[in-house]
Amino acid sequence: MASSSSKMLIILMVVGSFVLASANFYQNFDITWGDGRAQILNNGELLTLSLDKGSGSGFQSKNEYLFGKIDMQLKLVPGNSAGTVTAYYLKSAGSAWDEIDFEFLGNLSGDPYTLHTNVFSQGKGNREQQFHLWFDPIADFHTYSILWNPQNIIFYVDGTPIREFKNTESLGVAYLKSQPMRIYSSLWNADDWATRGGLIKTDWSQAPFTASYRNYNAVDVCVWSSSSGSSSCNSNSDNSDSWLSEQLDNTSQQKLNWVQKNYMIYDYCKDSKRFPQGFPPECAVNNAS
């Protein structure tokens, strides 16, 4: 019986870990705008955002985080999504905010989506890198992840790193280390710039536009308490906090180089017309390829 009890305990621990990892949208998020255009479905396992000519929609996390390793699965707006933006990002409050952005810029049917990334530190952004994806992001759900720790910020797509923003405080660049951030997502109309620089406008006859979310995972996070002014860090089932010092190993660095060589379509660190007097200092260490 002791052996059976031990097995049952292990099963309960595994189930408990799975419930924590896959905690549902009701528990973790609030719909913040859209007047009914955002919906939580399937007992909290699925969230959809919609956009029509009247309004878009959005949601935010109940918790704030100061560092974390966060996954979300998205299936983007299908068909002619030109003019729309599906944004999934972390952001702090205030006028000198920190922010880590995934933005998916809509496209004409048959054209590739553009994945737009950016990093803001103390209100300073203008650090855009853009990519085309190596798969069709409307055909199925794919996982978009952010690792944010004191050493670096790494953007992942289906576990493959696509961008790294290292802590370069030694070069005088402010790093995102003191302002807690919430998770946000929104679907909105940006046809003044989103598709081909605003040349292609939103076709409202295609509305409503809908993006879908599932399998939010934030086991490895430091949850901020506004009452105490401090954070409490959770770790995964092996009770390891190694994610707080995680960096790219050689294999991951090679994958990053592959993505940036083959799928990056814009890098601010290579835009000499934009920076004729020299690139921002972080570019010296954040260029993988």
Name the residue range of residue 192's domain.
Answer: 2-286
Percent of the chain predicted with pLDDT > 70? 89
Q: So what's the pLDDT on residue 241?
A: 83
Can you give the pLDDT at residue 148?
98
Q: What global pTM score does this model have?
A: 0.90
Cα–Cα nearest to 263, from 161, 190, 166: 161
The answer to whether the CB of 99 falls within 8 A of the CB of 91 is yes
Catalytic residues: 99, 103
CATH number at residue 42: 2.60.120.200
Q: What is the pLDDT of residues 208-257, one digit of tens each?
A: 999 999 999 998 999 999 999 999 987 665 557 899 999 999 999 999 99
- What is the predicted pLDDT for the residue at 234? 77
Domains held by the chain: number: 1
Low-confidence ranges of the chain (pLDDT < 70): 1-23, 235-239, 287-289
> Could you give the CA distance from residue 223 to residue 96 in angstroms, rounded to a whole number?
21
Model confidence pLDDT, tens digit, residues 48-81: 999 999 999 999 999 999 999 999 999 999 999 9
User: Using CA atoms, how far apart are residues 116 and 128, in angstroms rounded to an integer?
Assistant: 7
| Mean predicted lDDT score pLDDT of the chain | 91
**pLDDT on residue 15:** 36
